Structure 1
């Protein structure tokens, strides 16, 4: 479910920095969406100023998470007392010049410095543009800077106190998404075998290290098995496909409140033969009962990571972090339980298949000459002319989803955790595909966490190709898929978003035996219903569609709804136009008018959950409306 959080001040016209913290059972998707008003000012011939109309600019956030550890390099930061401050470096480049805010979020008291071009640890005063701290007791640093387009900057993140370590999230806010790549040189100790079958330590060398992080949770829906060295099938587990594009030494580690155990396999993992193809396993090398695998990975070879627990029948959330010479593509592939097992009177185990419902979400678009272009991964080495679209993808129910294309054009699909960075198309890449759906169409099989933002990039196999296509998403529920492509527009510097009709969940609730009732028709029995106040922020035609396992029926009213007379004030009604026994209604609505949407069922006295999907949730507010139930009042017949 999408919520909007508004942050303001107690006093009028108060300004200043702040940090927003959301605490709960899982990480949340949190995106700043403020529309900033920017007034252009130009000098007139009379030495006065003429003010032009206000322009609304969207603010984009680019984020990256990292951890300062004792393996990070150290230096003496500006204002520091000695060379004992751990630091990270990031290469930063923006596609559009302008004002940008750079800061961190987290408990770590950070210190940030921005450099023009290169950062030289032995001479931190060279090339420096600005730095900020806010004091040992203040919030993390914040830099407000003007950045030039296509200029390489280096951002250095360290701490106020010496030898401080811990996780943090870097946030860059501005007019466009930015290219942000971690470039820290981590200390790596090379190990060589001696003639005594012992290991000797060679000199420490610096290696270019890149981190990849994924989040998941073991639950009752996960499969169980008997992990190696155990005999009972009581260990919940997750599986991940692991692949990298650069051969080298990598570290794979967990971070969780539960006692984890990790196994890495070459090729395939067989739950009934858990030692087959096993490369390496670990229990506690990461400290705090967390596994840490140090392993040599071959480029483009397929590995399987199995995450389980030290004790049986334990579940909970966890994080997997990889670090090495290249980006690691790590994709969750766990097949959750879909069968119920019951014992018969003769003690024979029978399997009863649970019915699964697959929902489709369809989005159509077109590649044109106005679409942006880039050099896609695995494309022609010399071409940067692949037209592409970007989509924000969010699911409200976690599970396995399939994302496929349908077109006469040979398509190519890329799927990203979080943001897509045009100049670094391997950054955050989770999955990609060319022809798995047949006929030159991509098909991605991915596991989506609930309410986590992903990015789908739809492009073509050949460069300089345009035309129409459709994206189809199948899974346990309909997803929010929003086209976010920024088109190039002739004779203007302001990009415009392509118009796209989408459907996303705007309201979720349920009918229960405590819900109010009414009679849909004169001769019908009582049906449970829920009334929803509809407010539109802009006049226009809007669509309302139900999403439920119930056989839904919808009514739209103007100003008032009377359960005793359900035909009064009625504007529209529908039963099955949305397919799968769901209603779908379109109606032209006026700003400032009152509307009431009533969700009920085709058959009487049905209960269950439902969602209302709208064609433009940014312009429609849906709110629960309390209605006094009716016990026996007759209704006017259709």
Structure 2
């Protein structure tokens, strides 16, 4: 029946599939970073659900609202379907007629019928279905993760018991008929079933009615595919190429005519580190864009880059024909013996461009393309493209971007072993290309034979203890020529399975991961023990041969294949020493957020580590104590626990958990011990094994207050405190003024009072000094200008306060507004503040000049100079602070909710809960020194000028009085002048006293804890702006002339309406 449906679809141009299987070009590429379309909800989702139908309608789930969300392609608003089974949805599938199949954690499978808009129960499964699929025959597939099987039910029958196991069994395992915690499933148009066999790290293909699956990607595949780590979702395009997402890793990979390639996340790019490392669901839309729903409920889109499907060349540039014979053999697969015949061809291009390489033959071919060099004992090394098909015209077809001055090697072999025959290679391109046959290097074989007995020492890769029960023999291996070598092992008994491990320099079973070069479990996964590794001359290698099963003994032989002879010598384990450190984690220890953005805090203890000899060291602790150990080089920053972290290999053994790391003598290392649960108190012991003893020394570092931000996203504070620094931790996000802390409410009240007082003071001063009679000299002009700058300072101070408050209260402020306010407001505030201070100094100087010249004082010249000074002064001040906007930047820090998924490996899930945006400064030391000098000039300069001018006025006036009134002494005149002009000294002293807090907080080190004295710092900040509201009190009230002028001006204003 389904063949008829497919035929109708092809002839009528319609789709019979409810999902999308796009036809992709050979060079298809996706934007690796992706874009977040929206968040589905604010709830952590164990089963991230996503389905996109053939109309580009997106189906997702909100656990919080118990709704299925439906987003249509051409509609702005979404619709929703509320489900009432009161359980968490685990999977959905939408059919062509719009019916929605749903599965729940309570094992119910239901169907929402589009025609009636009602739910009906389909069946009660024996376990939770982590994925659903309905094939073209209307058969329902359920991935029962906990039961390690995939079951199928024929929906056209009413018998609920009619379930068939189509993949896996009731027992977990890694055999071809078994599964281990499977997750995502996909059924293609041939009714072939693809299964993401999550904990077997592979994708299994079960052909129709076949109980044994074939590994088409991942671990245990006989073909070269790609390494997978907990694959959880698999989909297939129209050409049956695979697209896979990972569990606990943020990788998306896909296959194609050139083999497998990474789409996102495999090289550290792609999805940001803030994204969750939890299950993810893949889906295509009509255009071939990839959609990704993760456990933090983010819907992400990876756009198919249209320019990646460029014009493909159709001109033949080179052809090569030959015959595969049995002269050259190798293993194109990872585990089989070398029974594939092959030929190597060097490819040289004349220009960087796209080229199409096609293999044709009467036999089934398989092709590999290598870059730089090909090592037949390491078929996966330097491989850039590989593919082959059975029973097809073009057995392989590569579309590659080839570069000049680069050596490419095409290896032509067969799809099946032990096959010979002719083949033809055709290359299409726009530029000339050269193909040349390559000779194969001669292989030298070296053999070592021995036997494992009960007298041999014991070793077990599963344990870090001495009580290992597998016998082993350590053999020193040295080679005469550097290159790739393949190590094969065999035993005298078919029941004796060997496992080989290669170490560099030294080996000790107590440090099984120290100097280890090869993977674990080699030879114990049902495949022959085979290692291909690059060995260098002059380096001592230790080959450890052991058994997969305990207590086995018997004869064995080691065969090494390579370009030169290898020498063997049996050796004993290298000597090691051990050291220990014991302590306990309590509430007296320091705390830090262990993960980036985490709001949970963990106790930790820092221990300085000193090693006396270069080498590899292993550190162990008891995993039952729930503690983790980390090693840092030079310094540990609790606000950035990734910085300076030493690369290490973490391992969990039967009774010990630890890490192995390479350390150097003369370097300072920091060991950090922390529990895997927040605020967990525990005693612990760290055991260290290495070539020599190590020295442990506990110490405490309290330098974290020098930073703002949070884990993995911190910034060093510069000198001085701004209003941003003082208030940033006191403001509640997304709350009104009524819900802010008392400190903020008081600050709002004080700021309002300062604004009102400043406006009143400046208005009264303007009313006084706008009088023409007072502006006959430069002093009057300075006072008028100071009235304006005082008002501007007060207004800008108020703007600054409300800008900080409102931008911290709301998360919806546009970044350009934040950036503009950050760079301009503080700079303008400094400009007006300093301008006002220097105008006060100019007033004092003008008065001193008036006293100095006496009756000869030139008022016209004084006014002319004053106008120029008032105009030039802001430019001079701005020149000293012009660099400020360059060093003021917006600093964004995400607050995340972190869920620990796997404690010992630190696999976590993160959800962005809030985003903090702060205005920060970051000065170099030279700029800090300059700012300090500039600050002293602008704050102390006006005071010194005022003070010296006042002293000059008093002494000069006293000297003139002495000349006229000689009956009084000079000291008596000084006392009289002091009584007359003392306000000239007192006023600047008061202004200096009020400005001193600004000087102090501007010079404070960034390494202070603001929360302990926030009232003090905020009060000091407010006090520093009081001089701007005191101009009327300082200059008008003490002067009889100015007071009378103010009264007269006020009376004139009051009398105007009456007249």
Q: TM-score, normalised by structure 2?
A: 0.16
Q: Which has the higher strand share?
A: 1
Structure exhibiting the larger radius of gyration computed from Cα positions: 2
Structure 1-normalised TM-score? Answer: 0.25
Q: Which has the higher helix share?
A: 2
More RCO (CA 8 Å, sep 6+): 1
